[in-house]
């Protein structure tokens, strides 16, 4: 497990240039506080996954992130080449609004396209205004459902779904490995 960082920013150095990877919606001028670097740089070194307590401290020009629960760590991903930051743990209404619930980082595909995470609060996630359904509600934090975030369209897929892709089926999941696209 990675050690927490205190008031640090993520930087990348290449060919003598230093770029700020964590920034607010104003661009590369300032940054929010990074809580934990999930010790993940994708295999192709294209993305870095990190956590922060207040997602609203990050964002992109013209695309601010919102966070109604800044005391709960969110999982974010930064594209090294473009500097674009995406909110992995977003709610069903918007890909720029935090789900506001606890989630655990699970893995990143080799090409950085997919980020796997887990949470016991399945109904906090979904897509295009539709939340996932929890068929086996449990005590929060007792066990997790698994999700995969797709960086190409900011969608979240429920991996532990039953025949209906939006209904949770299993609460006894462990994180699994994922591979790059063929």
> Could you tell me if residue 166 is inside a domain?
no
Q: How many domains does the chain have?
A: 1
> Could you tell me if residue 47 is inside a domain?
yes
Q: Look at residue 55 and give its three-state secondary structure.
A: helix
Q: Look at residue 114 and give its three-state secondary structure.
A: strand
> Could you tell me if residue 106 is inside a domain?
yes
> Could you tell me if residue 102 is inside a domain?
yes
> Could you tell me if residue 51 is inside a domain?
yes
> Could you tell me if residue 58 is inside a domain?
yes
> Could you tell me if residue 175 is inside a domain?
no
Structure token pair of residue 117: 């995470």
pLDDT of residue 99: 94
Q: Taking the model in full, what pTM does it have?
A: 0.77
Place of tokens 């920034």: 23
Q: Look at residue 69 and give its three-state secondary structure.
A: coil
∠ CA 26-30-31, nearest 5°, is 105
User: How does the average pLDDT of the chain come out, rounded?
Assistant: 75
> Could you tell me if residue 152 is inside a domain?
yes
What average pLDDT does this structure show over 114-137? 86
For 24-81, what is each residue's pLDDT tens digit?
A: 444 444 455 555 545 577 778 888 888 888 888 887 888 888 988 888 888 989 888 8
Domain holding 9, by residue range, is 4-118+148-158
For 126-146, what is each residue's pLDDT tens digit?
A: 988 889 988 776 655 556 788
């Amino acid at each position: 497990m990675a050690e927490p960082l205190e008031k640090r920013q993520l930087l990348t150095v290449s060919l003598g240039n230093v770029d700020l990877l964590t920034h607010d919606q104003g661009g590369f001028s300032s940054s929010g506080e990074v809580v934990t670097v999930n010790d993940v740089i994708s295999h192709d070194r294209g993305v870095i996954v990190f956590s922060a307590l207040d997602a609203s401290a990050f964002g992109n020009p013209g695309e601010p992130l919102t966070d109604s629960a800044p005391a709960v760590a969110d999982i974010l991903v930064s594209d090294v080449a473009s500097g674009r930051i995406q909110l992995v743990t977003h709610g069903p209404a918007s890909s720029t609004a935090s789900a506001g619930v606890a989630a655990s980082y699970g893995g990143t595909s080799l090409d950085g396209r997919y980020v796997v995470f887990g949470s016991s609060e399945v109904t906090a996630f979904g897509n295009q205004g539709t939340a996932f359904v929890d068929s086996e509600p449990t005590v929060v934090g007792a066990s997790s459902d698994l999700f995969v975030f797709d960086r190409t369209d900011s969608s979240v897929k429920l991996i532990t779904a039953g025949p209906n892709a939006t209904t949770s089926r299993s609460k006894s999941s462990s994180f699994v490995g994922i591979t790059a696209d063929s």
